[in-house]
Amino acid sequence: MKNKNIKGQFGSKTDIGCVRVTNEDQAISLINASGNVLLCVCDGMGGHNKGDYASRLAIEILSDEFRKLGGFRSKFHVRAWLSRTVRAINKQIYKEAEANPAYKGMGTTIVLALFYKEEIFILNIGDSRAYFVRYGDLRQLSEDQTYVDYLYHTGKISKEEMATSPERHILMNALGSFPSVSFSLHVYQNLKNAVLLCSDGLYNNATEKEIHSAVHTNDRIDQKIDTLIGIAKRNGGSDNIAVALWEASDND
């Protein structure tokens, strides 16, 4: 059978939440001339305007590079493009942080999903997340690159202790924080599950059951995204919220 792009509906949105005075989250949902879809969520860090600038810079460079590209020749081309682009973003953020004392120490998480034919490329740095929203549950596709995740995987703390640890917000990796960058990249077969990307402002303020219920409705994509943000805000809205969502078209 000849490979083809899986047709879908998609969208993205951010919200300042109920506590923060600035919004350091960014989210995009784009399609290129070849029908490849790119979703991305970034959660800036560094305080004041640093996090906002780092996440915005990451999104701007990624968007520009994606729009300039007519399409991909192969999955190897996808991998090479992702690697090259993320390294270029890291270089630019780090360069600006070194050149301007006001931006010293800034960085951002990034989680993206690139749809190429019948495969999904998930790239992750930090603790923003990617999920498959399946018929019965959520499946986390990304791995949190945090100190508490490291402690859990080395047997130092339990799963339950992760949620309440005072160190749960400490990142082990961020885009732009160091001269070089490492990232996680995995490829999944597109089995027509909905794909959700979000910052910690969503998953820390909404249960998996609430997220699952909001996505598995007959609402439009934009309505589902608004519902997810609304749930997080009703539950406290303790951080900025970023959401990007894709689901297969019913007639595909």
Where residue 225 falls among pLDDT bands split at 50, 70, 90? very high
Helix or strand or coil: residue 101? helix
Tokens of 112: 């993206």
Mean pLDDT taken over the chain: 90
Q: Is residue 67 within 8 Å of residue 38, measured between CB atoms?
A: no
Global pTM value:
0.92
**Residue (of 150, 113, 109) closest to 132 by Cα position:** 113
Q: Looking at 31-40, 139-148, 158-167, which range is the least confident one?
A: 158-167
The count of residues in the chain is 252
Residue 68's CB: how many other CB atoms inside 10 A?
A: 8
Q: Which CATH code, of 3.40.50.880, 3.40.140.10, 3.60.40.10, 3.40.920.10, is assigned to 8-247?
A: 3.60.40.10
Q: Which of 54-63, 66-75, 90-99, 237-246 has the lowest mean pLDDT?
A: 66-75
Q: Comparing C-alpha atoms, which of 192, 52, 30, 49 is closest to residue 113?
A: 30
pLDDT of 152-211, one tens digit each? 667 667 766 666 766 667 788 899 999 999 999 999 997 789 999 999 999 999 999 999
Give the up-direction half-sphere exposure of residue 218: CA atoms within 13 A in the CB hemisphere.
0
d(CA 252, CA 55) in angstroms, rounded, equals 34
pLDDT tens digit sequence for 49-82: 699 999 999 999 999 999 998 889 999 999 999 9
Matching residue, tokens 């019948």: 118
**244 has pLDDT over 90:** yes
Please answer whether residues 194 and 132 qualify as being in contact, where contact means their C-beta atoms are separated by less than 8 angstroms: yes
Direct distance between the N- and C-terminal alpha carbons of the chain, in angstroms, rounded to an integer: 15
Which long-range contacts does 207-216 make (Cβ < 8 Å, 24+ apart)? 208/137, 208/138, 211/131, 211/133, 211/138, 212/133, 212/137, 212/138, 215/133, 215/245, 215/247, 216/133, 216/135
- Using a 10 angstrom Cβ sphere, with 0-12 exposed, 13-18 middle and 19 or more buried, the burial of residue 91 is middle
167 vs 251, residue with greater confidence: 167
User: Residues 203-236, buried b or exposed e (16+ Cβ, 10 A)?
Assistant: bbbbeeebbbebbeeeeebeebbbbbbebbbeee
